Structure 1
Amino acid sequence: MYPIILLSVLGIVTLFLGFSKSKNVLLPSTLVFLIIALVGNFVEWNQGPLLYFYDMFRVDNLSLAFNGIVLASAFMIVAISGGFQNDADSEPAEYYALMLLSLVGAIMMIGFQHMIMLFIGVEILSVAMYVLTGSNKRNLRSNEAALKYLLMGAFATGFMLFGMTLIYGATGSFNLSQIQAYVTITNAATPSYLLYAGLLLLLIGMLFKVSAAPFHFWTPDVYEGAPTIFTAFMSTIVKTAGFAALYRLLDSTFAGAYDFWWLALAVIAVLTLLVGNIGAAGQNSFKRMMAYSGISHAGYLLIAVTAISQPSQGAIVFYSIAYSLATICAFAVLLLVSHEKANNEQLGEDYDAFNGLAKRNPLLAFVMTVSMLSLAGIPLTAGFWGKFMVFSSAADRGIIWITVIAVLMSTVGIYYYFRVIMASYLKEGDLAEIRVAPMFKAVMVFATVLTILFGLAPGLFEGLI
C-alpha cells in the first residue's frame, strides 16, 4: 500500500518541481522518489497477506516482489533518461510525473483483490502510456503510434469490462475471494456458461496488455513509433504488471475452472511464440525486432501461467527479472547509438547502426552482447534459467508438447539476437567513440552484472517469495 500513497504524492510533487527555473533538479529528485517508494514497498515484507481499501487491494510477498521489479525497472529507465533535460521543447516534469503516476496503476494491477481495482489500475497505466507514446509531438510515427495504441487499447478495455460484467452477473461479486468460492463450489456442481464467457472476454483484454497473439498487432508499430525511453518503459513495466495480474487472476480465482481455460491459453501461448519469433526473424529494424521479441517472451511467460503451480510462480518472477534487465540494457545501448547516428544525420534504429560497435565502444558492445545472450536463453545468463524454470513448470504439469514447441522457437530466437552481436563484432562501421554519462554507465554495468550473477547462481533467488 505504501508505494501507492508515496508515488501518488511524489508524482504531484514532481509536477510542481517543473515550475523551478532549472530542469536539472528533476532527474535526481525523481530517482530519490523511486528509491523512497522502493524502500516503502518492502516495509510490509513477511507481514502479509494484508487487505486495504475495503478489501480491494492485497499485499503479500508475491505482490511485493513484483512491485520491486517494477520500481527497480523504473529507477533504471529514469536513470538513463537524462536526454529530456537537453531538449528545449520537452517538459521533463510532465514526463517524470506521468511515469511515477503510471506506476500507481501498475501496482494496483499487481495487488488487486477486486475487479474494480484491476480496471482502475489498467486505465491509470494505459492512459499514461498513450500520452508518453505520443510525446514526440513533431514525429508523425509517434503520433500514429499513440493513436493506434489508444484506439486498440479502448477496444481491449471494452472487452475486459464486458467480461467483468458477465462474471459479476454469474457470481454476484467483484471480489476475488467470493468469485473463487463460487468457481470452486457452485460452478463445479453446475457449470455457468455466463461465467465462462466473462472469463474469456476478460482474458482477451488482459492478453492485449501483454502483447499476446492474436492481440499483438499494435506492438511493433507502437514500439517503433514511441520515443525509445518510453518503449523501454512499456516493454518491461507494462508486461511485468500485466503478467502479475494475469497470474493472480487465474491462480487465486479461476484455478477451479482450470480444465476450461488451460487449453485455450496454451494455444494462445504457442501462437504467440510462433508469431513473435518468426516475426522477429524477418525484421531489419532493431526496435521492431525487440517488439516481436517482447511478443515471443510473452509466449514463454504464458506457458508458466498455463502451468499454474508453485514452481510457475517463481518462474514468472525470475523470468520477469531476467527479461527486464536484458531489455533495459538493450534499449540503453540503442539510445546511445541512435543519438550518435542522429547527430550525423543518419538513421540509428536498424541492425546496421551497430556495425563496428565493439571497435570503438567495447563496453557498449559487451552490454548489448550479454543482453542478447540472455534474451536468447544462452547458458550462464539469467535468461537461460528463466526459460529453464518456465519449461520445468510446464513439464511438472505434464504439458510436454508445449515445452517442445517452446524449445524449438528458442532456437529461432538465436538467429535474430545473434545478428546484433555479429554486427557489433564482425562488421565494419563508422561509429565514433560514444561518451557515456556516469549514471548511464552505472545502470548498464549494474544490470549486466546482475544478468551474469543470476546466470551463474540462480539459487540466490530461491526462497525470496
Structure 2
Amino acid sequence: MYPIILLSVLGVVTLFLGFSKSKNILLPAVLFFLVLAIASNFVEWNKGPLLYFYDMLRVDNLTLAFNGIVLLSAFMIVAISGGFQDNPDSEPAEYYGLMLFSLVGALMMIGFEHMIMLFIGVEILSVAMYILTGSNKRNLRSNEAALKYFLMGAFATGFMLFGMTLIYGATGSFKLSHIHGFASNIQAGTQPFLMYAGLLLLLIGMLFKVSAAPFHFWTPDVYEGAPTIFTTFMSTIVKTAGFAALFRLLNTSFSEIYGFWWIIIAVIAVLTLLVGNIGATSQNSFKRMLAYSGISHAGYMLIALTALTKPSQSAIVFYSLAYSLSTICAFGVLILVSKEKTFEGQPNERYEAFNGLAKQNPVLAFVLAVSMLSLAGIPLTAGFWGKFFIFTSAAERGIIWITVIAVLMSAVGIYYYFRVIISSYLKEGDLIKIRVAPFYQVILLLATFLTILFGLAPGVFEGLI
C-alpha cells in the first residue's frame, strides 16, 4: 500500500520538477523515488494479509513479491532511459510522471481485492501507456501504434466491464471473497450461466493486456512503433501486472469452478505458444521478434494458470522476474545498437544490426547472449528454471499434453533466439565501437548477473511467498 501512496505523490512532484531550468535533476530524482518505493514495499513483508481502502486492496507476500518485480523493472528501465536527451522534442518530466502514475495502476492490479480496484488499476496503467506509445509525435509508426493500441484497448476494456457487470449480477458483489463464496456454494446440477458468461468476458479483457492469442494482434505493431524504452516498459511491467491480476482473480474467486474455465485457458495457452513461436521465426526485425517472443512467453505463464497448483504461485513469480530481466537486457542492447545504425531512415532494429557486435563490443554481446539464452530456456539461466517450474506445475496437475506442446515450442524458440547470438559472434559487420554510459552498463550487467544467479540458485524464492 505504501508504494501506491508514494508513487502517486512523487508522480506529481516529478511533473513540478519539469519546471526547473535544469533537466539533469529529473533522472536521478526519479531513480531515487523508485528506490524509496522499493524500500517501502517490503515494510509490510510477513505482516499480511492486510486489507486497505475499505477492503478493496489486499497486501500479502504474493502482492509484495509482484510489486517488487514491477518496481525493480521500472528502476532498471528508467536507468537506461538516458533522460530522453536524444529527442529534442521530448518532455522528460511528463514521460517520467506518466511512468510513475502507470506504476500506481500496475500495483493496484496486483493487489486488488475488489473488481472496481482492478478496473481503476487497468485504466490508470493503460491510459498512461497509450500516451507513451505515441510520444514520438513526428514518427508515423508511433502515431499508428498509439491509435491501434488505444482503439483495441478501449474495445477490450468494454468486454472487461461487461464481464464485471454480469458477475455482479450473478453474485451480488464485486469483492473477490464474496464471489468465491458464491462459487463455492453452487448446488450440484445447476449452471450459473450469468457468472460463467461474465468470467469469459472478463478473461477476454485481461488476456488482451497480456498479449495472449487470439487477442494479440496489436502487439507486433505497437511494440515496433512505440519508442523502444516504452516498449521495454510495456513488455515487462504491463505483462507482470496482468498475470498477477489474472492469477489473483482465478485463484481467489474462481478456483471452485476450475472445471469450467481450465480447458479454455489451456486452449488459449497452446494457441498463444503456437502464434508466438511460429510468428517469431519469420521476422527480420529484432524488435518485432521480441514482440512475438512476448506473446509466446505469455503462453508459458498461462500454463501455470491452467495448472493452478500450489507450485503455480512460485512458478509464475519466478518466471515473471526471469522474463523481465532478460527482456530489459535485450531491449537495452537494442537501444544502443539501433542508435548507431540506420535502415531506410529509421534506427536499424533488424538482426543485421548486430553483425560483428562481439568484436568491438564484447560486453554488449555477452549481455545480449545471456538474455537470449535465458529467453530460450537454456540451463544455467533463470529462464530455464522458470520454464521448469511452469512445466512442473502442469505435470503435477496431470496436464501432460500441454507440457509436451510447450517443450516442442521451446525448441522452436531456440532457432530465432540463436539467430541474434550467431549475428553477434559469427557474422562480419560494421566495426563500430558503441559508447556506453557507465551507469547504463552497470544496469545491464546487474540484470545479466541476476539472470545467471537465479539460474544457479533457483530456490531463492522457495518458501518466501
Label 1:347 to 1:95 Cα distance change in 2 as closer, same or farther (>3 A).
Answer: closer
Contact 2:104 2:125 in 1 (8 A): yes
Distance 2:441 2:77 in 1: 12
Label 1:29 to 1:83 Cα distance change in 2 as closer, same or farther (>3 A).
Answer: closer
Q: Equivalent residue for 1:47?
A: 47
Give the drift of 1:188. Answer: 5.4
Q: Equivalent residue for 1:157?
A: 157
Structure 1 unaligned segments of length 5 or more: list them: none
SS in 2 for 1:58: strand
Contact 1:272 1:299 in 2 (8 A): yes
When normalised by structure 2's length, the TM-score is 0.99
- What CA deviation, in whole Å up to 9, does each residue of 1:210-252 have, x standing for no partner? 0000000000000000000000000000000000000000001
Label 1:188 to 1:356 Cα distance change in 2 as closer, same or farther (>3 A).
Answer: farther
> Does residue 1:242 correspond to 2:242, yes or no?
yes
Contact 2:304 2:390 in 1 (8 A): yes
Report 1:282-293 matches (<5 A).
282-293=282-293
Aligned alpha-carbon RMSD (Å): 1.2
Report 1:194-213 matches (<5 A).
194-213=194-213
Q: Equivalent residue for 1:5?
A: 5
Q: Equivalent residue for 2:141?
A: 141
The residue type equivalent to 1:102 in the other structure is S
Q: Equivalent residue for 1:451?
A: 451
Q: Equivalent residue for 1:89?
A: 89
Contact 2:83 2:92 in 1 (8 A): no
Distance 1:171 1:203 in 2: 17
> Does residue 1:318 correspond to 2:312, yes or no?
no
Q: Equivalent residue for 1:360?
A: 360
SS in 2 for 1:428: coil
Q: Equivalent residue for 1:302?
A: 302
Distance 2:54 2:347 in 1: 52
Report 1:201-350 matches (<5 A).
201-342=201-342, 347-350=347-350
Distance 2:117 2:346 in 1: 46
Contact 2:26 2:83 in 1 (8 A): no
SS in 1 for 2:58: strand
Query: Taking every aligned residue pair, what percent have the same amino acid on both sides?
Result: 80
Report 1:24-43 matches (<5 A).
24-43=24-43
Distance 1:21 1:2 in 2: 31
Report 1:170-185 matches (<5 A).
170-185=170-185
Structure 2 unaligned segments of length 5 or more: list them: none
Contact 2:77 2:232 in 1 (8 A): yes
Label 1:187 to 1:154 Cα distance change in 2 as closer, same or farther (>3 A).
Answer: farther
Give the drift of 1:342. Answer: 4.2
The residue type equivalent to 2:302 in the other structure is L
Q: Equivalent residue for 2:379?
A: 379
Label 1:56 to 1:189 Cα distance change in 2 as closer, same or farther (>3 A).
Answer: farther
How many correspondences in the alignment? Answer: 465
Contact 1:301 1:319 in 2 (8 A): yes
SS in 2 for 1:51: strand
Q: Equivalent residue for 2:18?
A: 18
Contact 1:24 1:85 in 2 (8 A): no
Distance 1:460 1:163 in 2: 38
Label 1:396 to 1:252 Cα distance change in 2 as closer, same or farther (>3 A).
Answer: same
Distance 1:407 1:187 in 2: 39
Distance 1:135 1:146 in 2: 8
Give the drift of 1:461. Answer: 2.3
Distance 2:315 2:322 in 1: 10
Distance 1:187 1:52 in 2: 33
When normalised by structure 1's length, the TM-score is 0.99
Q: Equivalent residue for 2:407?
A: 407
